[in-house]
Structure 1
């Protein structure tokens, strides 16, 4: 029951990530003319409201993460959404582990940057106070927390972890024969 609840959370995480990536996250990477004015306005509102200058004037290292999101993660989102909607798909284990480790690894520098960088006040103001920094961290945090939850589920759930104590015992007894 608990595993099924996690799978549903993972399903909605991946399903929601598709439009977010296409409509918002890729804007700093792709030419501006590809996006309608309403989506550009949405990005400007987000960046101003949550003081996220990385989306308006991304550093090269941040662009590289967005590029990986476009090239590696985006094609994985519908596959993962399908697997977790269906539930118990053992074949998603290795790709989910790779995805989880990759995303968690990219979030560490992003969160560190948000917490410790001295952001300029112009042209795109970044967080200045602890409250502003923690607000921005709260926007990015689910993209660390959920992949870590996916990783632990893939590693420790008997449904996804194909090596079990019973399986190890039977293979040891075969070796002894």
Structure 2
């Protein structure tokens, strides 16, 4: 079945295609070897920090650095695989996207809870960061639920679910 007829998969595909450059050009720059860091990535990251005043990028706490390592070591390869997997309608897509969705939901929720605990940022700044982070929270939660139902449909015949 074509990706064009699978609307949710098409949305996931568009997410993963855009997620790879964000990972490499903004999120994981401090973790990359210097030969992989570019002026563009440093400029984009500086623009992000200046515009959004995101403390996680200014002076990341250790736990957030762990989240960034997860992004580099898990999100990046998974995003590359998912791009092909979604195009080919690979049977393991629901398993991989379930794990991704849960992980993205939990890490984003954790980050948002901490953002709202900051006392040195205005409500407007917190709202602006929430507008950036919330789509990842929503996508992660929706993707995880979507994959649970897909897996249920594959693993349990309808007669056993009743």
Task: Please say whether Structure 1 and Structure 2 have the same fold, judged by a TM-score greater than 0.5.
Answer: yes
Tell me the distance in 2 between the aligned counterparts of 1:109 and 1:6: 26
Question: Taking structure 2 as the reference length, what is the TM-score of the superposition?
Answer: 0.86
Cα RMSD, aligned residues only: 2.5
Worse-matched range after superposition: 13-22 or 78-87: 78-87
Change (3 A) 1:61 1:157: same
Task: Tell me the number of residue pairs that the alignment of Structure 1 and Structure 2 aligns.
Answer: 159
Rg larger for? 1
SS of the aligned residue for 1:20 comes to: helix
Q: Which residue of 2 aligns with 1:80?
A: 82
- Higher helix residue share: 2
Runs of 5+ consecutive residues of structure 2 not aligned to the other structure: none
Aligned match of 2:62 = 60
- Whole-Å Cα distance in 1 between the matches of residues 73 and 153 of structure 2? 26
In structure 1, what is the equivalent of residue 135 of structure 2? 142
Q: SS at 2:155's partner residue?
A: coil
How far apart in 2 are the matches of 1:41 and 1:132?
A: 21
Alignment of 1:1-177 (within 5 A): 4-31=6-33, 34-87=36-89, 89-119=90-120, 128-157=121-150, 161-166=154-159, 168=160
**Cα deviation code 1:53-73 (max 9, x no counterpart):** 211221111100000111112
